[in-house]
Amino acid sequence: MLDFTEAGVVAWFAPLRPPTRQNNWPPAIRAIERGPSVEPLLHELGALLSELGTQAPSILPEALLGDPIQHDLQTVVAQLGAARLLRLVDWFSAVLPGAPQLFAQLSQGRTANAQSINSSLRALTARDTLTRMFSPDRVAGLQSCAEAATNPQENS
């Protein structure tokens, strides 16, 4: 089931968030998601998507991209913090056959909501890529290779 509660998405997100002292990732949960009327609605959205994903996974992406549902879904997704956004991407990818097309459609376009989703996804993937590229193990390995290449006699 897609647990879209704050506790559920934060627990899911915790292992994905890189350990860092800097606060350079988008917030896991945005203030708007913590509203007293919003949290129950997000929980209901997760339960409904989970139920529909179980009952009709092949038609759900097409249904979500129809008018006016696409606009409403795009409006909600654009407001999500990193934890719910990535949890939704992960769940769609695991359950729905048309997930890539669904997120491409939601994140492309000139609307403010599409641009917000696109910016959030780009920021999250860029930070993840940089974290992996410059991990201490990778940098140490590159340094070792560079030293071996510049001093071949010492390694013979």
Q: Which domain holds residue 134?
A: 6-155
pLDDT reported for residue 42: 93
Which of 19-23, 100-104, 119-123, 147-151 shows the lowest mean pLDDT across its residues? 19-23
Using alpha carbons only, give the angle 124, 130, 132 rounded to the nearest 5 degrees. Answer: 105
Using alpha carbons only, give the angle 37, 39, 43 rounded to the nearest 5 degrees. Answer: 125
Residues 113 and 74 sit within 8 Å (Cβ to Cβ): yes
For residue 21, name the pLDDT band (cuts at 50, 70, 90).
low
Asked if residue 1 belongs to a domain, the reply is no
For residue range 106-147, list pLDDT tens digits in order.
998 889 999 999 888 887 777 677 777 888 888 888 888 888
Q: Which residues lie below 8 Å from residue 155, measured CB to CB, with a gap of 6+?
A: 148
DSSP 13-24: HTTTSPP-SS--
Asked if residue 28 belongs to a domain, the reply is yes
Asked if residue 106 belongs to a domain, the reply is yes
pLDDT reported for residue 23: 61
Q: Look at the chain and report how many structural domains it folds into.
A: 1
Instruction: Give the distance from CA 13 to its chain's centroid.
Output: 9
pLDDT reported for residue 22: 59
Residues 87 and 13 sit within 8 Å (Cβ to Cβ): yes
For residue range 22-32, list pLDDT tens digits in order.
566 678 899 99
Question: What is the overall mean pLDDT for the chain?
Answer: 85
For residue range 35-90, list pLDDT tens digits in order.
999 999 999 999 999 998 888 888 888 888 888 888 899 999 999 998 899 899 88
Q: What CA–CA distance (Å, rounded) separates 116 from 82?
A: 12
What pTM does this model have?
A: 0.74
Q: What CA–CA distance (Å, rounded) separates 74 from 72?
A: 5
